[in-house]
Amino acid sequence: MKANIERTNKKRVVIVGGGLGGLELAFKLVDDDYQVVLVDKNNYHQFPPLIYQVASGGLEPSSISFPFRRLFQGRKDFFFRMAEVKSVDSAKKTINTTVGEIEYDYLVLAFGAKTNFFGNKDIEATTLPMKSVSEAMKLRNTILRNLELALTEEDPARKQALMNIVVVGGGASGVEIAGAVAEMKKNIITRDYPDLDSSQMHIYLVNAGDRLLAAMDPVSSKRAERDLKELHVHIRQPQFATEYKDGILKTSAGLEIPTQTVIWVSGICANTIEGFPAESIGHAGRFLTDHFCRVKGVKDVYAIGDVSLVEGDKEYPLGHPQLAQVAMQQAKTVAKNFKAMLKGKEPKPFKYKNLGVMATIGRNHAVAEISGNKFGGFPAWVLWLVVHLRSILGVKNKTFILLNWIWNYINYKQSLRLILKAK
């Protein structure tokens, strides 16, 4: 099998992964003096910060998903191949994919991270991650299906297990999905399922740390905890999940929660790929790079985003936070340096500028830290909406999401309560 990409007189940049970093780099280089090849296992880009809203029925998947081919229509010397990369041969300067070998002059690894199950295969097989649109759809289907089953369940214990929802992980993803499900319980369950006692639906958040949102200031953590408790989310910390078997989640503190829905958002780890020497791999499987994002031990290979660990940064000795803004800033730096190489100019090192962090907890509730300022409540919630709406690709998608948010805000009606699954 051949990838069927014709060579030209231009240098070829192969980007593996069409996430926020990979897509930003492709946008910056396309129509330039490079041939750009984007490789991804999906034929669409997905917007990670809003995946939890798909899971909770607030948005449809197409609102946060964008076909690569549509994004790059009419662009010269751009090629997309839907494939999985099996290995890299840095000596031959080729990548081995499911559609054949692809040669490169420069290779950029931007294939992101996956859910970290900490080696627990049983938990990996039985819990529900939330890293992709497809996983979010499965999660939404599971929640709605269990509510349907609870309606006709006669055994009280079994009924309770169907209505209990456990979120494992106290980071931004855990806080956001816990808040979204709690809002769903508050505004939707009583309307759609009048035969169910919504007060019997319990939402637990199990956090291994001693506070939520450990990457943020303790003030923000306390605010988030307070807001979740107001939504009747049961926070259990510090304790971590040890086992999930036979519909019972067990924690390190001896807590046993009967549930048929466990949402696992307890951290991430870098995706891996064969063909790299041991000296190229650092903490948590991330590629060790210099300040120019060049991978250690190999030539003409770069890594950006969640898979990159920049060595020598005193502020971030264990690597920069695995956030969208880091990936996009690294992509811009690498793009500028590629353009500088064509002009014979010296590259410039990557320097991370923290633009702030934020997390939404529910309707009118969020926390934000911008330029040293810490605030929450309605202003932070509005800011969160504006920032994420601006980041969405496509005018149509921006419009649909805005109208959906306004509609939901006015009448509390999330419209996407459909159990959809492919046969």
Each residue's pLDDT tens digit, 43-97: 999 888 888 888 887 778 888 888 899 888 888 889 999 999 999 999 899 999 9
Residue 53 lies in a domain: no
Q: What is the rounded distance in angstroms from the CA atom of residue 210 to the CA atom of residue 310?
A: 28
Check if the beta carbon of residue 316 is closer than 8 Å to that of residue 352: yes
Residue-range definition of the domain harbouring residue 28: 11-41+83-115+269-342
Task: State residue 53's pLDDT score.
Answer: 84
Count of C-beta atoms within a 10 Å radius of residue 191: 11
Q: What is the pLDDT of residue 319?
A: 82
Chosen domain end from 211, 244, 266? 266
Dihedral sign from CA coordinates of 308, 309, 312, 314: positive
* 166 and 256 both lie in a single domain: yes
CATH of the domain at 163: 3.50.50.60
Consecutive H or E run containing 369? strand 365-370
- Considering the domain architecture, whether residues 170 and 203 belong to the same structural domain is answered as yes
Is residue 202 in a domain? yes
Whether residue 235 is found in the same domain as residue 331: no
Give the pLDDT confidence score for residue 311 in this predicted structure.
87
Which residue among 251, 266, 281 closes a domain?
266
Domain end residue (candidates: 244, 266, 288): 266
CB 76 within 8 A of CB 33: no
Structural domain total, the chain: 2
127 in the same domain as 199: yes
Same domain for 245 and 148: yes
Q: How many angstroms separate the CA atoms of 231 and 180, rounded? A: 10
Q: Tell me how far apart the alpha carbons of residues 41 and 363 are, in angstroms, rounded to a whole number.
A: 35
Q: How far is CA 103 from CA 4, 12, 14, 43, 180, in A?
A: 11, 8, 8, 20, 45
Q: For the chain, which ranges sit under pLDDT 70?
A: 1, 393-394, 396, 400, 407-423
pLDDT at 194: 84
Do 228 and 256 fall into the same domain? yes
Q: Considering the entire predicted model, what is its pTM?
A: 0.88
CA distance 157 to 155: 6
Residue 48 lies inside a defined structural domain of this protein? no
Alpha helices in 127-170 (DSSP H): 133-152, 156-163
Residues 125 and 182 in one domain: yes
| Position 170 in a domain | yes
> Residues 37, 141: one domain?
no
**Are 207 and 175 in a shared domain?**
yes
Which pLDDT value is given to residue 394?
Answer: 64
In a domain, 389, yes or no: no
Same domain, 249 and 276: no
Task: Report if residue 147 sits inside a domain.
Answer: yes
Residue 72's Cα: distance from chain center in Å?
A: 23
Do 274 and 304 lie in a common domain?
A: yes
Q: How many Cβ atoms are within 10 Å of 239's Cβ, its own excluded? A: 15
Domain check: are 125 and 260 in the same one? yes
Beta-sheet strands, E only, within 17-123: 34-40, 44-46, 65-67, 78-82, 85-89, 94-97, 100-103, 106-109, 113-115
The reply to whether 403 falls in a domain is no
